Structure 1
């Protein structure tokens, strides 16, 4: 199956390509989680429940934080991939970050991130492995897809942002000026929480 894997290079950091894929209707989340927990090297990814992510900027902020800590030897978790999941969490509780943001047995929509920490990890090797490992429908890593998959209520609860208005997902509301502004305010609050978490 064709993969919509995207490879990104973040400025201001060492040249470590980041490979990102999004899958809908994943059928084998329990298997993927078991391989990750067993420490299987070929399953060393950041497996993130896509319902807990609002936008590309939300994801990139966590990746930037994790890569920055990785490049300065300041990782708080096992590796750069677990650090990405941890970086999404607004608190310093590592176990909680995996419960809230990581893959679960019931995850249906999955965001997968792989950092090229060695020359053998390329766009092609990641795309090939994910194509055979993930039983789901590959889709685009874009704001529209992530917003569709996001569980706004759960995200706001995790970040303690209950007082902020929730953006509407109704087709006739999504592009309205007011709704765009509400979503932008929520995104800014999420980015601030990631940036400000105690380091």
Structure 2
């Protein structure tokens, strides 16, 4: 597995987004300290991966934040903090970091970096993450995220308790339908926040 560069539809190719998903992270305390200290070398969106249901869930929040960045609509200090904020269905920025950002106990971590300047390249990010993150790099896909995501916590944060949880049914097709319904509800919450 490797750092993935994601092309976001409807956004300029000159602003690539790099994504890495780590499991069994051992130095979350250090990474969070670097972020809180404002260390420019650690200007990433550091997201607790247990709060992400699927790849599309993550891509939707990233798209919203990058689009807000391009249109000078940031509500937080930079595009990376805006990505974490984009996951939250409310307009409370501090709450976003508590619920969706890295904590000292985070074991599964999604790291996102937007190349806002030419010196930020795929290779420079990959090298920095290799030296800085003590964890196992895994595929950034819905299958891996489904093993990581804490559906009950996600439903609680998005206030979707009335929806059934995937895995509650024995029928695979029905389970896929339930997961898709939950995913669509999450995407809608991200799209509608602040509207």
Rounded to whole Å, the distance in 2 between the matches of 1:4 and 1:140 is 8
Instruction: Find out whether 1:184 has 2:180 as its counterpart.
Output: yes
Question: Bigger CA drift: 152-161 or 118-127?
Answer: 118-127
CA distance in 2, matches of 1:88, 1:146: 15
Deviations 1:90-137 (A, max 9, x none): 000000000000000000000000000011111111111001100001
Q: Give the distance between the partners of 2:123 and 2:89, measured in 1 at CA.
A: 33
Q: 1:10 aligns with which of 8, 24, 30?
A: 8
- 1:53 maps to which residue? 52
Report the Cα offset of residue 168 of structure 1: 1.1
Equivalent residues, number? 194
TM-score, normalization: structure 2? 0.97
CA RMSD of aligned residues (A): 1.3
Match for residue 192 of structure 2 among 181, 189, 196: 196
Mapping for residues 113-192 of structure 1, pairs under 5 Å: 113-168=112-167, 176-192=172-188
- 8 Å contact kept, 2:24–2:107: yes
Runs of 4+ that moved beyond 3 A: none
* TM score, norm. by length of structure 1: 0.95
Q: CA deviation at 1:177?
A: 0.5
How far the C-alpha of 1:4 sits from its partner, in A, is: 1.8
* Structure 1 pair 135–11 and aligned structure 2 pair: CA distance change class (3 A): same
Does the aligned pair in 2 maintain the 1:29–1:108 contact within 8 Å?
yes
- 1:11, distance to aligned residue in structure 2 (A): 1.7
**Does the aligned pair in 2 maintain the 1:148–1:169 contact within 8 Å?**
no
Q: State whether residues 168 and 175 of structure 2, in contact with CA within 8 Å, keep that contact through their aligned partners in structure 1.
A: no
Structure 1 unaligned blocks of 5 or more: none
